[in-house]
Amino acid sequence: MDYKECWDYQETLFNETVAQKIANRNLEPHLQIPTKNHLLFVEHPNVYTLGKSGDASHLLINEIELEEKNATYYKINRGGDITYHGPGQLVGYPILDLDYFLTDIHKYLRLLEETIILTLDEYGIKAGRSNGETGVWLDADDVFKARKICAMGVRCSRWVTMHGWGFNVNSNLDYFKNIIPCGIQDKAVTSLNKELGHDVDLNEMKEKLKKHFSQLFECELITV
């Protein structure tokens, strides 16, 4: 799905949830309508997105070069710096009312990271975290080998989330050469197919992610 089209869809679901939370404040508890929670999976055409705290100079190509590479660029309302989305990257957008789960944005991010870490473990890949750098990493403690396999950036307002993760499964990593990923200059980017030496079935990947997400967030996922 086109990035802007999906962003607009996220905003619609996000705004519906926030509006329901506000409306519930004026209702007796037995009349309140539960908010809905969503987990979206998507692949985007080639696109670079810059978070609200990001540095535009971390995009290393101009508008003409973007067009030549068949890529687009958006400044958006999530946290974090610049990242790339494209075919073969499995993007996850949880749109959750954290009042049902946990009102702690840092723990929320750690649970998202753990979802990816546990999924990678099923493929024999040992992943972890890098101190002070949100996302999922391989060999994070080795300055010469550290590489990011999953970037994360979220927005949270009234304890409702949007945006999420970009998990490099079968990604074309050449597109990362056009940015300083997440504003981090001294660490590389990798993908699961690069680590394994072969592509991975994305539908199989989605099932593994859903399993770990539902366990960590103690919820039941219903496919719509």
Return the active site residues: 182
Collect all residues with Cβ–Cβ distance below 8 Å to 221 and sequence separation of at least 6.
39, 210, 213, 214
Residue 44 tokens, joined: 């985007």
Pick from 86, 81, 62: which is nearest to 180 by CA? 81
Residue position matching structure tokens 């905003």: 11
Rounded distance between C-alpha atoms, residue 21 and residue 129, angstroms: 33
Q: Contact, 147 vs 189, CB < 8 A?
A: yes
User: Which residue matches tokens 């950036």?
Assistant: 153
What stretches of 99-144 show up as alpha helix (H) in DSSP?
Answer: 105-121
CA angle 129, 100, 98 (to 5 degrees): 45
32: which DSSP letter?
A: P
